[in-house]
Structure 1
Amino acid sequence: MSKNILVYCGSSAGFDPIYEQEVKKLASALKKQEATIIFGAGSVGLMGILADEYIRLGGKCIGIIPSFMEPWEVKHKGIQECIVTESMHERKQKMAELADGVLTLPGGWGSMDELFEILTWKQLDLHQMPVGLLNINGYYDHLIAQMNHMIKEGFLKERNLSALHIENDPESMVDWVMQYEPEKMEKKWIYRG
């Protein structure tokens, strides 16, 4: 079965060429599974690298961009489908509606916002999609340490952190997302007695 994989990633490419190399490996692994990539429609940074490579490999990309970004001229011109939304909130909702799974690659504020929102939605049982964090070059090591600290301090349950699958290798991540079996989340906010 074909899967729609939502990919959150940076509009910057980072300084180290390893980010581009690993994103291209991810594109190749997703193409072997005949997935459709859903992303932020950008032509720059890791977003642009991912879309360029996926299109080069013959894959389908669906971009979703809010209307206020269109004048910035960052919208990818080569993607097969582009959906324009009225707001960032509508953009994120549309992305989630179309997706069967979510992967987060290195990125900045936008990628963090998207990752934590989709994890919160999962914790609230609003979806049962797989959510993966691709830790290229140890990019997310400090964030992973912070999440473990949240558990240690009693602000996050270990079971809910386990809803985020962390991998360093793109091929292993794709294997995991394609074989994922949904699970119900623990209601972390309910503390009684």
Structure 2
Amino acid sequence: MKSICVFCGSSWGRRKEYENAAIALSQEIARRGYRLVYGGSSVGLMGACADAALAAGGEVVGILPHSLKRKEIDHAGLTELHVVDSMHERKAKMVEVSDGFISLPGGAGTMDEMFEVWTWAMLGWHNKPSALMNVEGYYDDLIRFLDKTSQEDFVKQPHRDMLIVDTDASSLLDQMEAYKAPENIAKWIQKESQM
């Protein structure tokens, strides 16, 4: 892996622990020599991630739609900032330039990004790991729901198992580094690339 994409809120949330986790994760990404890819904003947890990775000597790539550039304050100190036309183009660019995806606490936008890249992996469109960093139990209810989708046969268990969940930045990145896509997906991707 060379680049890790972090999805998270442009707000701070109610707990200081969310900011602390964003900082710890971003510092660990930089310490391991990975580029941080994220939504390009200077506010909320997004800004905390960028600031922490930059302060730790890391490279940070922001990807921000024009419409949000007008509404949010784009981060002026990034290694690279890509301004795109739509949210869909933003996600496609994030997938293109990233080797793995981590979701910190966030709202509907964070969930949209996480679910889309995980679904693309289930469909065999990429074989990159996706993870939830479950800070202070933020994702506990979602994890229970995802387990139920598998128990009720709407999501195959190997696909459910693709989504890594941890509370610790270092442990989470260790699991991402060791990640191997389910064999059927890896074979499908290889077959598609040969066509």
TM-score when scaled to structure 2? 0.90
Name the SS of the counterpart of 1:94 in structure 2. helix
**How many angstroms apart in 2 are the aligned matches of 1:89 and 1:130?**
20
Task: Give 1 or 2: higher helix fraction.
Answer: 2
Amino acid at match of 2:163: L
Deviations along 1:59-86, one digit per CA (max 9) or x if unpaired, are 1100001111121142111111100111
What does 1:45-56 correspond to in 2, within 5 Å?
Answer: 45-56=44-55
Q: Which residue of 1 aligns with 2:6?
A: 7
Give the superposition deviation at 1:182. Answer: 3.5
How many angstroms does 1:27 deviate by? Answer: 1.6
* 2:188 corresponds to: none
Report the CA distance shift for 1:110/1:184 in structure 2 as closer, same or farther (over 3 A): farther
Map of 2:189 onto structure 1? none
Q: Which amino acid aligns with 2:153?
A: G
Aligned partners of 1:125 and 1:184 also within 8 Å: no
- Tell me, in whole angstroms, the C-alpha distance in 1 between the residues paired with 2:182 and 2:151: 24
Which stretch of structure 1 is more off in the superposition, 129-138 or 175-184? 175-184
Question: What residue in structure 2 maps to residue 116 of structure 1?
Answer: 115
User: Can you give the 5+ residue segments of structure 1 that lack an aligned partner in the other structure?
Assistant: 187-193
Q: Distance in 1 between matches of 2:184 and 2:32?
A: 27
Letter in 2 for 1:166: V
Instruction: Give yes or no for contact 2:38–2:61 (8 Å, CA) kept in 1.
Output: yes
For the residues of structure 2 that align with 1:158 and 1:181, how far apart are their CA atoms? 15
**Displacement after TM superposition at 1:117 (Å):** 0.5
Runs of 5+ unmatched residues, structure 2: 186-195
Partner residue in 2 for 1:18: 17
Shift of 1:149: 1.4
Equivalent residue pairs, number: 185
1:105 is matched with 104
Q: 1:5-36 deviations in whole A, cap 9, x for unaligned?
A: 01111111111111111111112211221100
Partner AA of 2:53 in structure 1: Y
Partner AA of 2:170 in structure 1? E
- Superposed displacement of residue 185, structure 1: 4.9
Contact 1:122 1:185 in 2 (8 A): no
SS of the aligned residue for 2:69 comes to: helix
Cα distance between partner residues in 1 of 2:184 and 2:88: 23
SS in 1 for 2:74: coil
Q: 1:141 to 1:68 in 2, by over 3 A?
A: same
Q: Which residue of 2 aligns with 1:169?
A: 168
TM-score by length of 1: 0.91
In structure 2, the residue matched to 1:44 is 43
Match of 2:143? Answer: 144
Give me the whole-angstrom Cα distance separating, in 2, the residues matched to 1:97 and 1:24: 24
Partners of 2:129 and 2:184 lie apart in 1 by: 12
Find the counterpart in structure 2 of residue 133 from structure 1.
132
Aligned residues: percent identity?
Answer: 39
Matched-pair contact (CA < 8 Å) for 1:7–1:37 = yes
Secondary structure, aligned partner of 1:110:
helix
